[in-house]
Structure 1
Amino acid sequence: MAFTKLRFVNQFSQWLCVRRSYIHSLTENLAALHKAMEVLKTKEDDVKRRVDREEFIGRRQRISQVQVEIKRLCFCGFCSKSFGKSYGYGKMVSLMLKEVESLSSHGEFDVVTEVAMVVQVEEMPIQSVVVGQETMLERVWNSLMKDGFKIMGLYGMGGVGKTTLLTQINNKFSEMDCGFDIVMWVVVSKTLEIYRIQEDIAKRLGLSGEEWDKKTENKRAVDIHNVLRRKKFVLLLDDIWEKVNLESVRVPYPSRENGSIVAFTTRSRDVCGRMGVDDLMKVSCLEPEEAWDLFQTKVGENTLKSHPDIPELAKQVAEKCRGLPLALNVIGETMACKSTVQEWRHAIDEGWKKAEVKMHDVVREMALWISSDLGKHKDQCIVRAGVGLHAVPEVKNWRAVRRLSLMKTELQNILGCPTCPELTTLLLQENHKLVNISGEFFRFMPNLVVLDLSWSSSLIGLPNQISELLKKLIHLNLESMKRLESIAGVSKLLSLRTLRLQKSKKAVDVNSAKELQLLEHLEVLTIDIFSKLIEVEEESFKILTVPSMCNIRRIGIWKCGMKEIKVEMRTSSCFSSLSKVVIGQCNGLKDLTWLLFAPNLTYLYVRFAEQLEDIISEEKAASFTDENANIIIPFQKLECLSLSDLPKLKSIYWTPLSFPRLSELAVQEHCPKLKKLPLNSKSGTADVELVIKYGENKWLEGVEWEDKATELRFLATCKLW
């Protein structure tokens, strides 16, 4: 009992001391409160400068409330003589002092991300005048500004000027006040790396720094989202090769609410689809006049005037660039110092004979170093291309070699029997003096997957042992082997998926076609079909001879006397992968109705077919239907149709077609009976300009248009070839 009373007295004494301190220390606490508040005010200003406004706003509001309360408590330094009032007043001062010290402590950071003054747009360097892109720039800009928010995709082939166009868009934002808080530029490139995109965006937002580097990808994404969700932004992504998931980066999708814009460049129209674009625009090559203007600016007036013949020669060089801005720029700059006629003629005669470039020795060695995993596995990649070899090189460790290139050498015979259990790739192309390869050379290459012998123009035959030894071979390139007489045994290469035989006409005959039928896994076949493939007594050719014909991408048929091409498997997708067809000097053909079964055809080139009357025959097409018994509508993905020297051609198709992707219809010359084109005023799309090229004014004058609206629409796009 005594112990309990004693404990009570002790606790009461402690309580009383605490309460007494409220009164005893009141004056001292008031002074400390004044000082602490001054420190807190200083840190308030500092924190406001150093952290994002949105993150600080809650604590700042509380600080403001505390300031009001302190002014009330400290008014005139009031202290009551009443014990009760002084106790209550002192308690409030003490508690307020603790809160001020707590708020102040929140301003103590070892490292605080400094939010730099972010420039709205970072202007990028670019040539002052971009010849030929003024109209496209205006179209893109007007489209971006039209709705105020969207995802836009700019697509086109490499070198066509997509990056230049996007750069101009970026700089245009710096010239005009469009109400955006920030414009961000990110180069994505072929290897998609989310963290790198986040890094570039963070730099523009002023978030990068030592603390940023320590954060996880997820935390970075949250920080980016917290800033961008309150901003009206423009994000420009250059050179994307696959879908960039904006959600992974945590970039808010453009909406009517945020009014933001995402625009990107890509080579692939499919990528635009996967990105869910609101606006799709194709960046095309320059028109001839624009290309010539650009080329002149690069070559320079002094060079063009250095000899009377140079301007005409320069036009020929410019034409070879096919309107590609990158080629016009690079070649124009190269030719700027060429002031003699001989130099220009040499460029025309020799400059485009070979699709290759001279690589600097240092660059070549660096490329080999990179390919060998920065030199760690240099024994795995052996390159002896174009170094004048007369014999197979001596290699210390054949067992380690995985890739071997002996292309463009002086080799006449390939002998020996190297043991290469790891070899997967063997490149032997362009060995023009090569006349013999020993079968034993392949004996210990069980894992060889790629074999390229193309352009080995002196080689007559392949070793018989290949079909027995190379069971894992997937890719075999025998193109442009002009003396190759046979591909006997190729049917035993059961793993083969790609077989290239184009321009190796001696090796392709009826027996070859029978061999091809046995290649069940073949996906890619390049082959020229000549008249010797068809037996003399046959007047028609059954083109469906290869089981995997649905995987064929290109077909070239030359110098055939056949009257008809028949398709046995009549389904709308039996040529589902076929994208390019070239037919020439087939004087027996009367129609190409079999093209109904090529739904993904993008390029069709027909010339020198004296008996051809219809591209698609109405009579034959009536008997062909798709799986749902509907008439098959052709050419839905056709981009280019070129016709020449077809004296009896009367019709492409008997009724107008939509041609949603057609950009070029060329009737070059000698097609006098083709009066009606399958077009009406609704053919084509607004995104793709359909240009009609013609070789003779007389032909254009005789065209019978569907109606006046069709004539008005397409006559303006007609251009003399």
Structure 2
Amino acid sequence: MLEDFVIGIASKLGEYLIAPIGRQFGYVLFYKSYVKDLKNEVKELETARQRVQHVVDEAGCNRKPIQTDVEDWLESVKKEAREAENLLEHGESVKSACFCGWLPNPVVRHPIGKKVKKITKVIHGLNEKSRNSNFQKVYYENTPIGFANATTSTARPVEKKEDGLKSRALIIEDIMKAIADDRVRVIGVYGSGGVGKSKLLEDVERRVKEENLFDVVAMANVSRNPNLKRIQKEITDVLGLHLMNEKTVRGRAYRLREALGSDSKKNVLIILDDLWEKLELKEIGIPCGDDNKVRGCKLLLTSRNRDVLRIAMGSDQEF
């Protein structure tokens, strides 16, 4: 009787101990498989994001209020996709093998593999949500009671898609005029989530490049939780400036500031999308004064909050 009891206890202890230990070893042994799974989920998520964003942009042209869960999903997609990208880049950059590459380095692979597994699960959940039948409708046909956003509270209802596209074209023309105006250094575009600000920026970026208005045009996404290193990388990649040896944000900022300020004759446009609060330009490496006002280049910003553009970032014009 006692023997059976002891065996039962030992068996349970084995279950509780072996499973967690096996899981920890799995982060190392199945690292490559986990990375492959993550890449596949990220690719599928980007396809879903493009599909949803296309419908959202069309709804924005027609002044249709976007459903809250769709806005939240798009924000989550941006955040998780960036985290996955950073994690995969980190995994590529660190030394992940020992014994001259014959064996995986557990010290390196374990923490990365664990994070890869975790974020894969999150991204898989976002993909599942995009396939939900209730998620196919991204906007309200009629504005819900108590619901107000930039598309409904500040503009007349627009019935025809053609009118919405015309209005969008006029906004782009106004932005292009502001960009060409030497007196304007900071331009802001504001509006609620999902109304097509990012798509509008892409259109402006394309026009600016086609018309050769600037020597350098760099674009970075800021988001609610800014990743300064990633923002710096998106800008420095366009400049052809490699900062792999600079480990700190401050060191990268110094190098970027030097590069942007080295040639006063070079026209530079920096586009920063999706600001939620004040962004300290000096921490990124964008030349600015003590008042956080940009110097030596031009900024095009977007935010949901006009005050972020006007007060925190000192925009000269908003649209």
Normalised by the shorter chain, which TM-score bucket?
0.3 to 0.5
TM-score (norm 1): 0.20
Which structure dedicates a bigger proportion of its chain to helix? 2
Higher Cα radius of gyration: 1
Structure with more contact order per residue of length (Cα contacts < 8 Å, sep ≥ 6): 2
